[in-house]
Amino acid sequence: MPGFELFGAAERQHVQDVLNTGILMRYGFDGLRDGIWKAKEFETAFADRMGVDHCQLVSSGTAALTVALAAAGIGAGDEVIMPTFTFVASFESIIAIGAVPVLVDIDDTLCLDPKAVEAAITEKTKCVMPVHMCGAMADLAPLKAICDKHDLLLLEDACQAIGGTYQGTALGAYGDLGCFSFDFVKTITCGEGGGVITNNADFAKRADHYQDHGHDHIGNDRGAEGHPFLGYNYRISELQAAVGLGQLSQFDEILAIQKRNFSIIAEALKDLPNVTPRRIPEGAEGNHSFINFFMETEQQAAKAQKALGEAGIDACFYWYNNNWHYIRGWAHLKNATGAGPLSEAIKKELLSLEQRDFSKSDHWMGRNLSCLVKLSWTEDQVRERAATMREVLSNL
């Protein structure tokens, strides 16, 4: 991670195909395309790779979450349960459609705690959104059981864990809908882009319409297309999809390199008494894009990050003090600070966050370090890095 470390001939060829036609938009201009439809090609290939029936490409991972929620019929006043550790896009997408984000604790998977989810369900709850953070996943089976019990949607945010699996199923394909990001620092990238996958034909159709101003895409004249319902512009371009196709052709190589590099570092750290690996649910495998582990105390974790940085170990993150990824840094959310007025239901929920007890999340996040696994390292560089990390952490 990220895929931009492996740009090559495949990406250049797909992009050149688009430039040769001059048609950068994914819809229309049929006669000028010379049969080049990169977005359609990517959607078909990605759905096949994920083992699902449908894929809808969009302009970003944030757009993917927004489109998925809207396609599933989530809207004003509906509650969506999400974790305290995620990227800000999770609550942004929920608020964007008028729904209410309900934040609950994580567990030692660094993802949604099923017990916290069940405790947060009300008559307004419509969806549970686990976010598979830092290359690995939530424990999906108990979350699905909760959703089945209460007739709720299970929407997987797999933006940071593409390529991981749970009980033999690709992450994103286990729930009712799954979302991915193809931004510049994801495992495969389009520069900017995202995708929604599902086996539900109705959700797929609604996603197709919603991401393109509500167009029904019937016929080959956009000016004559119907609009069954309101939509917005979350389209991907042909150039973005072209880059993604090149990246997708390297996906297996990317995952293999990540696993090799991850395994070398994990082996070096496995017997350190003050280091505990993040829990991976039984029958699951992450995409190995991050090494995630817990130190014994919050103070030791902060000290470890500083010491690793001083030893030349870059891209080792202490999310506990990060403004983008953990609730402690989301003052704008807890203060309900919008660019314009928010609904009373959203404001009420957000303003309650400051008084809520998230000490269970703090217990895990305060002790966690997440170290990026890069594709560009040689095996010798990985082994040197692993030895340095072991020495630094041992000395603590």
Residues annotated as catalytic are: 186
**How far apart are alpha carbons 38 and 243 in whole angstroms?**
9
DSSP per residue over 246-297, as a string?
A: HHHTTHHHHHHHHHHHHHHHHHHHTT-TT-EEPPPPTTEE---SEEEEE-SS
Give the integer Cα–Cα distance in Å for 48 and 45: 5
Write down how long the chain is: 396
SS3 337: coil
Q: How many CB atoms lie within 10 A of CB 265?
A: 21
Q: Which residues contact 183 (CB under 8 A, 6 or more apart)?
A: 60, 61, 189, 190, 191, 192, 193, 194
What is the rounded distance in angstroms from the CA atom of residue 55 to the CA atom of residue 69? 15
CA distance 10 to 248: 9
Contact 173, 50 (CB under 8 A): yes
In 10 A of CB 8, how many CB atoms? 11
CA within 13 Å, CB half, 368: 28
DSSP 48-104: HHHT-SEEEEES-HHHHHHHHHHHTT--TT-EEEEESBS-THHHHHHHHTT-EEEEE
State the Cα–Cα distance between residues 163 and 288, nearest whole angstrom. Answer: 9
Reduced to 3 states, what is the DSSP secondary structure of residue 370? strand
